[in-house]
Every structure is written in structure tokens, then in C-alpha cells.
Amino acid sequence: MTVAKRIIPCLDVNDGRVVKGINFVELKDAGDPVEIARSYNEQGADELTFLDITASSDNRGLLFDIIEKVANQIFIPLTVGGGVRNCDDIRNLLNVGADKVGINTSAILNPNFVSESSSRFGSQAIVVAIDAKKIDDHYEVFTHGGRNATGINAIEWAKKMADFGAGELLITSMDRDGTKKGFDNNLMKSISDVVDIPIIASGGAGSLRHLVDGIKEGEADAVLAASIFHYGEYSIKEAKKYMYEHGIEMRL
Amino acid sequence: MIAIIDYGIGNLKSVHNAVRYIAPKTPSKVSSDPDFINKADKVIFPGQGAMPDCIKELDKRGIRDVVIESAKKKPFLGICLGLQLLFEKSEEGDVDGFGIFEGRIKKFQPNKQVRIKIPHMGWNKVHQSKNHPMWNNINPGSSFYFVHSFYASDVKKEYVTGTTNHGEEFTCAIAKENIFAAQFHPEKSAELGLQLLDNFISWKI
């Protein structure tokens, strides 16, 4: 017996609203981030992730005031990602109430940023987010909300980021994001096999079965989902119960 | 008056948020002012990050002694690194802690066969080794949120108040007289974490 697997609802935030896209584009409004966060906290979510999805691509600042309002409402861990460029950004996010920050584009531009921030804030505060897309027979890392190809192999990158001091990896399959076809469990397992830190599966959850598969087949430590919860298809409670009934250790 | 010790490390805001949420009428302040810490009725000592850095930051602010003094006489709650710092010695950076509890801080070892990952991150069940006012209204075996790579080892049995399993059973809560310390984060452990903080606010020694 050990640590329970986690369900992490994800708030993709654009212009102060929670949105959901398909393959990272075609955004659809899902509501107010503060209200949605409060509701997930009450429903028993294990953590919450807040992604400012266009922060990197628009090259603009962080939504500190909204993040602070979200943090004030919830008593579970909060990860904030999107547009995190330097240690000051991290310090400021932790100061408004984030527990962990997600680093994506900035890690590609300067991998040492991950080791520096991890030694300064502790690895527990540093989540490296990897957006991967299948190209022929391998997975490649993309940045800027999935807009730019990097030529970097996603599995090797995951291992490197773990070695550089990431406390956790958030792996998103861009091919599956918003499709509701299930996580890319081959991608998840390939990464879980080569790192000792927890990994979060993201991109594609469309049913409760997919959450179970992400843990069992993808060997993820946590599953991240947005649309299946935002639009009320399933409650967090239902999802946890289902996973528990399928032999997964959960906090009920 | 509750002092939340500020030494420039970790997410103090969430601890303060949680305290204000459960006890809006109890004055509380995040502070590195030795006078304030000295005058406070109760002290919360949170912590995150690396132990050598924490000690350095405490010393930079000249508050190591006042924290140790508080731990000797008033209700004192250590959280995460705030538990680890109470011990004699840590493997992390090979530094000395406060030595209030005998024992040492060791690092978890990853294990692929049984899929033990480091850091130990997430919700895990806490076995209550003994009764304590801090466990009031919290059922044995309840889950709390953990995030850490180091843990307290060789703790005297009389001080072990809670244990958790991560590949092996380890001490996750300790208590002695006016001190209670937890490896998990009550401020991030939803209702039961708030209950634990509430228990601290009403704890009389």
C-alpha cells in the first residue's frame, strides 16, 4: 500500500475564463475559474491545475489576481502553468498561493532553468510540462501551446528533466487533447519506465474507463482531465469511486 | 495570536489562508520578527525545499534561537520541513537540525519493482500511533497530502504519533509535550487538514 493515485481537474484559462479546446485550438467557454475551482475543491479533487494557455504564445504576463482568488478558495495543492519564464515568476506565483509551477517553453529554451528553480524552490514546486506529438515512430516535444515543433525526442526530454530536478512531469498528448479518445498510454508508459518521479497523464480523457487505463496501462501516478468534469458529464466523486472499484488506490 | 514563521521559503500563504479560513477571529501573522514570534501564543513552523537552505535562511534572519525557544514552551506545530528541522541530523546536505527530537532525516530510495517514486507526492493514509488532541475528529487511516523526499528515521517510539507507508512504514507525525509536527501538509489536505489546524488552534497544553 502506498500513496493514492490522483485526479486533477485542469482549468485551461484564456482571457480570465476557463476554456476547452480540441488539439489545443478551437476554444469553447466553460466558465469562471474561481467558481469552478471552488466547486472542484468541494467535490474532492486531489489537486487542481491552472494553465494560462496562451501566456507563452501571446508573450504576456501572468494572471496573478485570478490565481490569487483561486488559491484563496481551495485547500488542496494548486499547480499553475503558462508563461513561467524566470525565478521571479515562480517566486511571485508561490507568493499568491500556488504550490507548484508548471514550466514548459522556458525549459526548452534553457534547461538549466529547471535545475536552478528546483534547487531554489525545491523539486516539489517544479512540474515540467511536456506537450508531445507522435511523429512517425517517435514522440516529439512541442512548445508555445503546441504551436512550435522542437525536434526534441519526448522520452529523452522527460528523462533529462527528471535528472535536472523536476519534481513531477505533466505529459500531454497533443494528438489526443480534446478528442476524448483516451490518454496516449504508450507515451505515458514509455516515460514512466524511464523516470523515478511521478507523472501526470493528460490529453484525451473522455470516459471514466480512460482514467483507469491511464493509471493501469500508462502507469501514470495521476490523471488530469478537463472537459469530462467541466461540463458535468461526471463528478469527481463518481470518477474516484469508479477507479477505486477497478482496483486503484484512491482517496475517497 | 498565532505566528507563522517566515524565513523566505515555501508557500506560507496557503498556511496563513487556511488558518484565517478556520479561525477568522484569531489574529495570525506570517512573520520573521523575533519579538512577534516571542510574544505569540502559538507558533506554526512550516517549511518546504532543502534543509540546508532553510537553516541558512533562518540564521540570516537571526530567528533560529527564538524558534527553538518557542518549541520548548508554547503550542508549536511543525509542518513538512518544520518537522524535519526538529531532529538531530539530516542526510540532506549533512546538516544539524535543532536536536529537539532524537533521530535523523533520511532519503527515500526509489524502487521500480514496487513502483516507489520519489518525491512521495500525493494523498496517503495516516495511521494514528497514539491518541492526541491534534487527532480530534479525524478518523484513524484518514488521508493527508504529502510531498517530500526525506523522512524522519530512528524516532523514539514514545514520540511517534502517526505513521504512513511509502514502500516502508515511516513516521509522519511526532509529538512531545507542547510540540506536534507532521510530515504532511494540513493546509493542503482539504477538510481533514483544516480540522487538524482547527485542533491546533483549540489545543491547550
* Model pLDDT for residues A121-164, shown as the tens digit of each residue: 888 899 999 999 999 999 999 987 678 899 999 999 999 999 99
CB contact under 8 A, B123 and A94: no
pLDDT at A59: 47
Round to whole Å and give the CA distance between A242 and B4: 40
Q: Does B192 have pLDDT greater than 60?
A: yes
- The mean pLDDT of A37-44, rounded to a whole number, is 94
Grid cell, residue A51, equals 494553465
Residue A208 has pLDDT above 50, yes or no: yes
- Chain centroid to CA A111: how far? 19
Chain A positions in Cβ-Cβ contact with residue B82 (cut-off 8 Å): none
B136-185: per-residue pLDDT in tens?
999 999 999 999 999 999 999 999 999 999 999 999 999 999 999 999 99
Residues B77/B48, Cβ–Cβ less than 8 Å: no
Q: Which residues of A are part of the catalytic machinery?
A: 12, 131
Banded model confidence at residue A61, pLDDT cuts 50, 70, 90: low
CA–CA dist B175, B164 (Å, integer)? 15
- Most confidently predicted of B13-22, B41-50, B114-123, B167-176: B167-176
Q: What is the pLDDT averaged over residues B21-41?
A: 95
Interface of A with B (CB under 8 A): 1-6, 41, 44, 46, 71-72, 75-77, 94-99, 119-125, 167-168, 196-198, 219, 221-222, 251
Beta strand A199-202 pairing with A222-225 = parallel
Q: Cα Rg for chain A, rounded, in angstroms?
A: 16
Decide if B14 and A1 are in contact by the 8 Å CB cutoff: no
Distance, CA of A32 to CA of A15 (rounded, Å):
11
**The pLDDT of residue A53:** 77
φ and ψ of A42, to 5 deg: -70, -35
Q: Which residues of B touch A (CB under 8 A)?
A: 10-11, 13-14, 17-18, 21, 48-50, 110, 112, 114-125, 143, 145-149, 165-167, 185, 187-191, 193-194
Mean pLDDT across chain A: 91
Task: Report the 10 Å Cβ neighbour count for A35.
Answer: 12
**Residue A145 pLDDT:** 67
Residues of A in contact with B10 (CB under 8 A): 94, 122
Distances (CA, A) of B175 to A12, A202, B130: 42, 40, 10
What's the whole-number mean pLDDT along residues B23-28? Answer: 95
Pairing, β B2-5 against β B28-31:
parallel
Mutate to test the interface with B, among A41, A124, A248, A250 (most CBs of B within 10 A): A124
Cα–Cα distance, B147 to B81 (Å, whole number): 10
B50 DSSP 8-state letter? -
* Candidates A41, A94, A221; nearest CB to B122: A221
How many beta carbons lie within 10 A of that of residue B66, not counting itself? Answer: 22
Mean pLDDT, rounded, of chain B: 93
Pairing of the two strands B76-79 and A17-22: unpaired
pTM: 0.93
Name which of A75, A96, A101, A216 to mutate to probe chain B: the one with the most chain B Cβ atoms within 10 A of its Cβ. A75
Task: Quote the ipTM score.
Answer: 0.91
Query: Which segment of A30-34, B128-132, B188-192 scores lowest on mean pLDDT?
Result: A30-34
